Each structure stands twice: as C-alpha cells, then as structure tokens.
Copies of this chain bind each other. A is one copy, B any other.
C-alpha cells in the first residue's frame, strides 16, 4: 500500500502507534538538537511514552533550564495572586491555593538549592499568603460552628425554662389532686407551649419529659 497522509489523532493500532512513537521521537530529538546547535538556543525536552517510559534531551543542564522556565512562569503567575481583597469567595480561595500548589511544585524539582535569596523570599511570601487563607477559612468555619452552637444553646435554654415552669405547674396540679383525692388525669392542664399545634391534650407521659436534666446544655 502506498503511503497516505495521516491525520493527527491517536493511532488506534497499538503496534503502529509504538512504531510511529519510536520513529517520530527520534525525529523530534534530532530536530531539537539541530535547533539548539544552529541557533544557539537552549532546549529541554522531556517525553513520556504511553507506557510510562522516559526519554529526555537537554542542550545544557536540564535543571538550569527548568529553573529558568519556572522563574519566567512565576513572574507571570504573580499577577493573578493580587486580586480583590475583601472577598471571601471560596472559588477564588481555591484558585489561589492552586497557584500556591503550582509554586511549591515548581520548587520540588530538584531543589531549593538552586534558588537565590530573592526567589526564596518570593516563595515564602507565596506560602505565607496561602497559609493565611487556609487559616482564614478555618477560622470562618470555627466561627460558624460556634455561632450555630450558641443559637442551639439559647434555644435549649428557652425550652428548658419553659419545661421548668411546666414541671412546677404539673407538680402543683398533682399536689392538688392528691389533697383532693382526685386521680383523673384529664384535669391536668397540659401546656405544650405551641410546639404541638392542634393538640391541646395528651398529658399521659409528661413525667418522662420532666426527667430531663435541666442544667445540661
């Protein structure tokens, strides 16, 4: 079969894909080398095959090039960090954390060793900013939880106050019943302070509610 133009999309056939990878990878490395030689350029090229095998080339020090690349990128990456203060948008915070993550990743490479004092100070600032944001969110979370708990607390205290009153009423009523020799439960007034709409009378297990510890919050 004669050769045909191929379209640039993933090659389905595994064998063909591997063969093409091998051939084109060589071509790519050759071209990289040529460009580097012809034009005095510095080039780093990293290739991972689909099967995870590593191939790489660099005209000088891979590390130096990566560092230089990172330096350039962080220059650009600083802008998006300086955004509108005062907004506690989680999406924004998340975005900034991503950037922080990128910044840290940049350093992972081989070292902090290659970094100068200036770069380290920049990084420090970046991490500090991330830290402050995490701390801020954490604190917000704390405050929210605390205010929720306080609300609950005051609700419970109100409830308890009402129950105390109810308990006294019930006791008084029972004392009266006992003194009058009247055992009919129906005569006991049942105040459910509006929490049981349409139910004015049930009064059978009031004693159970009275068993609750009033002082517990």
Contacts and interface: CB of A to CB of B under 8 A. Distances in A.
* Interface residue tally on A, bucketed by range: 35 or more
A168 B5 CA distance: 87
> Number of copies of this chain in the oligomer?
2
Contact of A47 (B41, B47, B101): B41
B72 A54 contact: yes
B48 A42 contact: yes
A138 B121 contact: yes
Q: State the main secondary structure of chain A at its contact with B.
A: helix
Q: Which of A25, A61, A66, A131 has the most CB of B within 10 A?
A: A66
A31 B27 contact: yes
Interface in A192-211: none
A100 B97 CA distance: 12
A117 B141 contact: yes
Interface of A: 6, 8-11, 17-18, 20-21, 24-25, 27-28, 31-35, 37-50, 54, 56, 61-63, 65-70, 72-73, 80-82, 84, 87, 90-91, 93-94, 97-98, 100-102, 104-117, 120-121, 123-124, 127-128, 130-131, 134-135, 137-138, 141-142, 145
